[in-house]
Amino acid sequence: MLSATMTVDPAFRVGEVDPRLYGSFVEHMGRCVYTGIYEPGHPRADENGFRQDTADLVRELGVPLVRYPGGNFVSGYRWEDGIGPVGERPTRLDLAWRSLESNHVGVGEFLTWARTVGVEPMMAVNLGTRGIDAARSLVEYCNLPGGTYWSDLRGGRPYGIKTWCLGNEMDGPWQIGHKTAPEYARLALETAKAMRQVDPSIELVACGSSGRQMPTFGSWEATVLAETYDAVDYVSMHAYYQQHGDDRDSFLACATDMDQFIDELVATADHVRAVGRHSKRINISFDEWNVWYQSRFAGETNLAVEHQPRLIEDVYSVTDAVVVGNLLISLLRHADRVKIGCQAQLVNVIATIMTEPGGTAWRQASFHPYALTTRYGRGTVLQPAITAPTHETARHGEVPLLDAVAVQTDDGVVLFAVNRSQTEPMTLDVDLRALPGLTTATHTVLADDDPDAINTAQQPDRVQPRDLSEPKMDGGRLRAELPALSWNMIRVGG
Active-site residue set: 169, 288
CB 15 within 8 A of CB 379: no
Using CA atoms, how far apart are residues 189 and 195, in angstroms rounded to an integer? 10
Beta bridge partners of 285: 236, 340
Using CA atoms, how far apart are residues 254 and 117, in angstroms rounded to an integer? 32
Helices (H), 41-81: 52-61
CB-based contacts of 297: which residues, under 8 Å, 6+ apart?
312
Using CA atoms, how far apart are residues 464 and 145, in angstroms rounded to an integer? 45
The number of angstroms, rounded, from the C-alpha of 50 to the middle of its chain's C-alpha atoms is 22
Per-position DSSP letters for 211-269, written without gaps between them: -TT-TTTTHHHHHHHHHHGGG-SEEEEEEEE---TT-HHHHHTTHHHHHHHHHHHHHHH
Exposed, middle or buried, 459 (CB in 10 Å: 0-12/13-18/19+)?
exposed
Using CA atoms, how far apart are residues 89 and 211, in angstroms rounded to an integer? 35
